[in-house]
Amino acid sequence: MLRVDVSKRLGDFSIEASFTSEGRVTGLFGASGAGKSSLINMIAGLLQPDRGIIAIDGSTLDDTIRQMHVPVHRRRIGYVFQDARLFPHLDVRQNLDYGRRMNRLAGDAAQHRRVTDLLDIGNLLDRRPGRLSGGERQRVALGRALLSQPRLLLLDEPLGSLDEERKEEILPYLVRLRDEAGIPMVYVSHDAAEMRQLATHIVMLQRGRVTAFGGAEVLPAALARA
Amino acid sequence: MFELSPTEWTAILLSLRVATVATLVATPLGIAAAWLLARREFWGKSATDAVIHLPLVLPPVVTGYLLLLTFGRRGPVGAWLADHLGIVFAFRWTGAALASGIMSFPLLVRPIRLSIEAVDRRLEQAAGTLGAAPWQVFLTVTLPLALPGVLAGMVLGFAKAIGEFGATITFVSNIPGETQTISSAIYSLIQTPDGDTAALRLVVVSTLIAMAALVASEWFARRALQRLHGN
Cβ-based neighbours of B161, under 8 Å, separated by 6 or more: B18, B19, B22, B23, B97, B100, B101, B103, B104
**Four-way CATH pick for A2-87+152-225: 3.40.50.10190, 3.40.50.300, 3.90.800.10, 3.30.420.40:** 3.40.50.300
> Which of A40, A73, A142 is the best residue to mutate to test the B interface, defined by the most B CB atoms within 10 Å of its own CB?
A73
The architecture that CATH gives domain B6-229 is Orthogonal Bundle (1.10)
> Are B125 and A72 in contact (CB < 8 Å)?
yes
Report the percentage of chain B scoring pLDDT > 90: 71
Q: DSSP readout, A96-145?
A: HHHHHHHTTPPP-HHHHHHHHHHHT-GGGTT--GGGS-HHHHHHHHHHHH
Backbone angles phi, psi at A156, to 5 degrees: -100, 100
Query: 3-state SS string over A194-206?
Result: HHHHHCCEEEEEE
> Which of B129, B143, B223 is the best residue to mutate to test the A interface, defined by the most A CB atoms within 10 Å of its own CB?
B129
CB contacts < 8 A (A, B): 77
In this complex, the residue of A46, A87, A99 whose CB is nearest that of residue B123 is: A87
Query: For residue B227, what is the nearest residue in chain A, using CA coordinates?
Result: A89
Q: Compute how many other C-beta atoms are within 10 angstroms of the C-beta atom of residue B47.
A: 9
CA–CA distance, B176 with B169 (Å, rounded to integer): 12
**pLDDT for res A94:** 95
Among the listed residues A224, A193, A145, the one whose alpha carbon sits nearest the alpha carbon of residue A27: A193
- Reported as a single tens digit per residue, the pLDDT across B80-137 is 998 888 888 988 999 999 999 999 999 999 999 999 999 999 999 999 999 999 999 9
> Are A148 and B141 in contact (CB < 8 Å)?
no
What is the average pLDDT across B49-65? 94
> Are A99 and B122 in contact (CB < 8 Å)?
no
User: Would an 8 Å CB–CB cutoff place B68 in contact with chain A?
Assistant: no
Indicate the domain borders of chain A: 2-87+152-225
> Are B136 and A102 in contact (CB < 8 Å)?
yes
Backbone angles phi, psi at A3, to 5 degrees: -120, 125
Question: What is the ipTM, given to two decimal places?
Answer: 0.90
pLDDT of residue B178 exceeding 70: yes
10-residue averages of pLDDT along chain A (226 residues): 93 92 90 90 95 93 94 95 93 95 88 88 93 91 93 91 80 86 90 88 91 78 46
Q: Which residues of B touch A144 (CB under 8 A)?
A: 130
**pLDDT for res B1:** 63
Query: For residue B223, what is the nearest residue in chain A, using CA coordinates?
Result: A89
**pLDDT for res A225:** 44
CA–CA distance, B146 with B143 (Å, rounded to integer): 5
User: Would an 8 Å CB–CB cutoff place B123 in contact with chain A?
Assistant: yes
**pLDDT for res A74:** 94
**Considering only CB atoms, which residues of chain A are within 8 Å of chain B?**
44-46, 71-79, 81, 83, 85-89, 98-99, 102-103, 128-131, 144-145, 148
> Are A88 and B228 in contact (CB < 8 Å)?
yes
CA–CA distance, A178 with A199 (Å, rounded to integer): 9
> Which of B120, B130, B226 is the best residue to mutate to test the A interface, defined by the most A CB atoms within 10 Å of its own CB?
B130
